[in-house]
């Protein structure tokens, strides 16, 4: 019989495999620090250069003609984000249904849709932008197509999870009276998953605005294109204006979507 006065040990003994894995991970981290982390000397040298760059950026360019150009570029950026997200969300709904476990009408073929969503999600948006710029040319259309793919990758996964998590009891009740899979989707799954779907859509929109800002760096339209030109031509005052506008817009976007999310809850 176990001695009642014996306390359990404070730390659970590690298995040899866990111990070896922990040591390996620690070693990898230390080596990585040595190879890619900034050294104190680099930080000391970089600091003054950064200060010099910031000084050249100030004051931001507030000329009316330049601000007007930035305004229209920002509108284009918004258009890319909105249209790309709208198309992406519409396409994501059937894709999510087809890939969702338990409710997909596609049977085992659902893995094909799941893999497609994974592919869209794992390839970075700048890579998609390069592909679309190469295929449809420079400009906003390439940016919109990039946002569509990026949104399908994001919403496709989270929509599918929301559908899988929907309350099963109403679904069973509707199946029992002969409702088809599509009717169960519309009648029971989507209404139950709706708050989650709206939340995901708002996150996608926020993400799209941020992405569409940088897509211009590779020629896919929007304000990023203006930013690239400013840096290429050493027009740092123009660059600081654009950065401030981007910061303001992203901040406003986060505020608006946060408020909408709170209302949906």
Site membership for other proteins, residue 173 (CB under 8 A): yes
Nearer to other proteins, 154 or 159 (CB): 159
Write the DSSP string, 177-216.
Answer: TT--HHHHIIIIIHHHHHHHHHHHHHHHHHHHHHHHHHHG
Site membership for other proteins, residue 191 (CB under 8 A): yes
Residue 26 C-alpha from the chain's centroid? 30
Q: Binders of other proteins: how many residues, by CB under 8 A?
A: 20
| Shortest distance (Å) from residue 189 CB to other proteins | 9
Of residues 210, 173, 186, 216, the one with CA closest to residue 94: 186
| Shortest distance (Å) from residue 265 CB to other proteins | 12
How many other C-beta atoms are found inside a 10 Å radius of the C-beta of residue 258? 12
Burial of 107-127, coded b for 16+ CB within 10 Å and e otherwise, reads: eeebeebbebbeebbeeebee
Among positions 2, 13, 49, 169, the unique one binding other proteins when judged by CB under 8 A: 169
The site string for other proteins over 59-98 (x = CB under 8 A, - otherwise) reads: ----------------------------------------
Site membership for other proteins, residue 198 (CB under 8 A): no
Which 3 state secondary structure label does DSSP give 249? helix
Distance CA 215, CA 76 (A): 12
| Shortest distance (Å) from residue 172 CB to other proteins | 6
Site membership for other proteins, residue 52 (CB under 8 A): no
Tell me the torsion sign for CA atoms 207, 208, 213, 216: positive
Nearer to other proteins, 136 or 194 (CB): 194
Site membership for other proteins, residue 167 (CB under 8 A): yes
Nearer to other proteins, 11 or 177 (CB): 177
Q: Which stretch binds other proteins (CB under 8 A): 57-65, 152-160, 163-171, 204-212?
A: 163-171
Site membership for other proteins, residue 183 (CB under 8 A): yes
How many other C-beta atoms are found inside a 10 Å radius of the C-beta of residue 90? 14
Site membership for other proteins, residue 107 (CB under 8 A): no
Helices (H), 216-235: 223-232
Q: Which stretch binds other proteins (CB under 8 A): 73-81, 111-119, 168-176, 245-253?
A: 168-176
Q: Is the peptide bond before 101 cis (omega within 30 degrees of 0)?
A: no
| Contact footprint for other proteins (CB under 8 A) | 167, 169-170, 172-174, 176-179, 182-184, 186-188, 191-192, 194-195
């Amino acid at each position: 019989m176990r001695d009642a006065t014996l306390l359990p040990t404070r730390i659970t003994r590690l298995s040899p495999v866990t111990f070896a894995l922990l040591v390996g991970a620690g070693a990898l981290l230390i080596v990585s620090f040595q190879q890619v982390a900034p050294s104190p000397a680099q930080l000391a040298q970089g600091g003054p250069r950064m200060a010099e760059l910031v000084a050249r950026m100030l004051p931001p360019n507030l000329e009316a003609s330049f601000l007007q150009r930035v305004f229209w570029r920002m509108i284009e950026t918004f258009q890319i984000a909105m249209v790309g997200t709208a198309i992406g969300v519409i396409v994501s709904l059937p894709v999510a249904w087809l890939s969702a476990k338990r409710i997909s009408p596609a049977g085992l073929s659902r893995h094909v849709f799941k893999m497609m969503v994974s592919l869209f999600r794992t390839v970075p948006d700048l890579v998609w932008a390069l592909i679309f710029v190469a295929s449809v040319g420079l400009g906003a259309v390439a940016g919109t197509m990039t946002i569509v793919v990026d949104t399908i990758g994001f919403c496709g996964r989270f929509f599918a999870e929301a559908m899988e998590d929907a309350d099963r009891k109403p679904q069973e009740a509707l199946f029992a009276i002969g409702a088809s899979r599509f009717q169960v989707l519309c009648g029971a799954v989507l209404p139950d998953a709706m708050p989650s779907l709206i939340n995901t859509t708002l996150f996608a929109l926020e993400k799209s605005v941020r992405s569409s800002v940088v897509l211009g760096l590779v020629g896919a339209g929007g304000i990023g294109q203006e930013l690239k030109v400013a840096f290429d031509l050493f027009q740092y005052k123009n660059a600081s204006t654009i950065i401030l506008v981007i910061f303001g817009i992203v901040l406003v976007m986060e505020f608006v979507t946060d408020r909408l999310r709170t209302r949906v809850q």
